[in-house]
Structure 1
């Protein structure tokens, strides 16, 4: 696993991504921390979200546990724990996928919140029924928690 994670870290570094920084937390290769910038034209624009990646011993056969440490108003992320909807990463996981795939998925989640398979039903309902109110609250939370 550590050889695979080291290789993935190098692959991500070569991409020179301007919207995320990621690497081992406290020199622990099984625990990474990412700082993800909220995408432009989304309610999360201007925010930086801290996200934990915990890699199980049998990674890549099992996906990493991913959790937002920064409080976020999103239908697919638990507001109290930061856990993301299991379906988003877990259900389609395969050993051929990697951390970069997870990062792209998280960026896509921020750009296109989905009312399908929510972990926060009230936020999903608001997203579906009153996007402007959803976006206003998401922007407010981003300013309060992710700046």
Structure 2
């Protein structure tokens, strides 16, 4: 028995096979991830009307495991990430506009939802604060699905979204497939005016003090405010008690003085 080696897999073929035999190979590979290793691979050999099928022993990693792996990588990165209800499938990320573009110095809160079929189905991405861009809906902040699907691959992970996809989307908008027709028209007819409008939106909606708070930050601030209110109430209460005590002391002194005076009169 002879073996043909492809990667780490060995497929055997009939004895006596020489280089003169026609070898037809069809390989179907889905989602070869460097993080999780190769997924299910079917290799079909057609040799002299004989078909030999090989299925790798590696099982395809579940989407759930892939979601956990990708989100953990994002959480361990330098990005500010806030999970929604501790869910790995919905979270917010603070994103900074790419340098040398009109979006530079802008900060956006990005909402991300991962479908159950991730990474075979692309994530849903939306801007929570306003942005002026042909492929992003101004009202909802949704990124054009066609643009995502044209670019998305199961090879990508969440870091690719924020380090590559979104920066490239802002740097190279596609006015031929717009969600914001005004932005697309302005970009095609008057690029300088488009750049000025983008910068105007950045200054109005995407500065650090204009970014919507991450979920959880409001709760922390409320807790801090609550603690401050409680401390103020305690301080006021202590002050009142102190005042009450001093009033009582003055009254006693007055009574004592009155008694002494009465004795002198007697």
Q: Counterpart in 1 of 2:188?
A: 128
Of residues 114-123 and 132-141 in structure 1, the stretch that sits farther from structure 2 once superposed is 114-123
Structure-2 separation of matches of 1:52 and 1:37: 14
The alignment status of 1:9 with 2:68, answered yes or no, reads no
Relative to structure 1, is the Cα distance of residues 64 and 141 closer, same or farther in structure 2, using a 3 angstrom cutoff? same
Q: Which has the higher contact order (CA 8 A, sep 6+)?
A: 1
1:48 alignment counterpart: 107
Residue number in structure 2 paired with 1:62: 121
Aligned to 1:91, the other structure's residue is in SS state: helix
Name which of 92, 99, 107 aligns with 2:167: 107
Alignment partner of 1:26 is 2:88:
no
State the aligned residue count: 144
Normalised by the size of structure 1, how large is the TM-score?
Answer: 0.86
CA contact (8 A) 2:71 2:88 kept: no
On the 8 A contact 1:33/1:50 being kept in 2, the answer is yes
Q: Gaps spanning 5+ residues in structure 2: where?
A: 1-62, 208-266
| Secondary structure at 2:153 match in 1 | coil
Q: Compared with structure 1, are the counterparts of its residues 119 and 27 closer, same or farther at alpha carbon in structure 2 (3 Å cutoff)?
A: same
Whether 2:94 is the aligned partner of 1:35: answer yes
CA distance in 1 between partners of 2:98 and 2:152 (Å): 24
Q: For the Cα contact (< 8 Å) 1:9–1:23, is it kept in 2? A: no
- Please, what is the CA RMSD of the aligned residues? 1.9
Gaps of 5+ in 1: none
Q: Distance in 1 between matches of 2:148 and 2:65?
A: 22
- Measured against aligned partners, the alpha-carbon deviations of 1:101-142 in whole angstroms (never above 9, x if no partner) come to 322211111222232311112211111111111111111111
Q: 2:179 aligns with which of 119, 122, 126?
A: 119
